[in-house]
Amino acid sequence: MMAETLTYESAYAELAAIAKEIESETVSVDVLAQKVKRASELITFCQTKLRSTESEVNKIIAQMEKQS
Protein backbone atom coordinates (compact mmCIF):
# COMPACT_ATOMS: atom_id res chain seq x y z
CA MET A 1 0.00 0.00 0.00
CA MET A 2 0.93 3.66 0.23
CA ALA A 3 4.00 4.59 2.10
CA GLU A 4 3.25 6.38 5.35
CA THR A 5 5.20 9.40 4.23
CA LEU A 6 3.20 9.99 1.06
CA THR A 7 1.85 13.53 0.95
CA TYR A 8 -0.86 14.89 -1.27
CA GLU A 9 1.64 17.00 -3.14
CA SER A 10 4.07 14.15 -3.88
CA ALA A 11 1.20 11.82 -4.75
CA TYR A 12 -0.27 14.39 -7.08
CA ALA A 13 3.11 15.11 -8.70
CA GLU A 14 3.61 11.39 -9.41
CA LEU A 15 0.06 11.05 -10.68
CA ALA A 16 0.47 14.04 -12.99
CA ALA A 17 3.67 12.56 -14.42
CA ILE A 18 1.97 9.23 -15.14
CA ALA A 19 -1.02 11.02 -16.65
CA LYS A 20 1.22 13.06 -18.92
CA GLU A 21 3.03 9.92 -20.05
CA ILE A 22 -0.24 8.21 -20.80
CA GLU A 23 -1.87 11.26 -22.39
CA SER A 24 1.01 11.66 -24.81
CA GLU A 25 1.11 7.89 -25.36
CA THR A 26 4.83 7.80 -24.69
CA VAL A 27 4.28 5.14 -22.08
CA SER A 28 5.67 1.70 -22.82
CA VAL A 29 3.04 -0.99 -23.11
CA ASP A 30 5.27 -3.20 -20.98
CA VAL A 31 4.62 -0.96 -17.94
CA LEU A 32 1.20 0.39 -18.94
CA ALA A 33 -0.79 -1.90 -16.66
CA GLN A 34 1.59 -1.22 -13.79
CA LYS A 35 1.36 2.53 -14.37
CA VAL A 36 -2.42 2.49 -14.55
CA LYS A 37 -2.57 0.48 -11.35
CA ARG A 38 -0.27 2.98 -9.66
CA ALA A 39 -2.32 5.84 -11.04
CA SER A 40 -5.50 4.29 -9.66
CA GLU A 41 -3.90 3.93 -6.24
CA LEU A 42 -2.73 7.53 -6.33
CA ILE A 43 -6.16 8.76 -7.36
CA THR A 44 -7.76 6.90 -4.46
CA PHE A 45 -5.18 8.32 -2.10
CA CYS A 46 -5.65 11.90 -3.35
CA GLN A 47 -9.45 11.66 -3.23
CA THR A 48 -9.41 10.23 0.28
CA LYS A 49 -7.08 12.97 1.37
CA LEU A 50 -9.22 15.65 -0.27
CA ARG A 51 -12.43 14.31 1.26
CA SER A 52 -11.01 14.14 4.76
CA THR A 53 -9.51 17.60 4.38
CA GLU A 54 -12.82 18.96 3.09
CA SER A 55 -14.83 17.54 5.96
CA GLU A 56 -12.29 18.84 8.45
CA VAL A 57 -12.32 22.27 6.86
CA ASN A 58 -16.13 22.33 6.88
CA LYS A 59 -16.14 21.39 10.54
CA ILE A 60 -13.69 24.21 11.36
CA ILE A 61 -15.64 26.72 9.27
CA ALA A 62 -18.90 25.77 11.00
CA GLN A 63 -17.22 26.25 14.36
CA MET A 64 -15.76 29.55 13.23
CA GLU A 65 -19.17 30.84 12.13
CA LYS A 66 -20.75 29.70 15.37
CA GLN A 67 -18.20 31.75 17.34
CA SER A 68 -18.45 34.97 15.38
Q: Can you give the binding site for another protein, defined by CB under 8 A?
A: 8, 12, 15-16, 19, 22-23, 25, 27, 29, 32-33, 35-36, 39-40, 43, 46-47, 50, 53-54, 57, 61, 64, 68
Minimum CB separation of residue 5 from another protein in Å reads: 20
Cβ-based neighbour number of residue 67 at 10 Å: 6
**From CA 56, how far away is CA 39, in angstroms rounded?**
25
Minimum CB separation of residue 8 from another protein in Å reads: 8
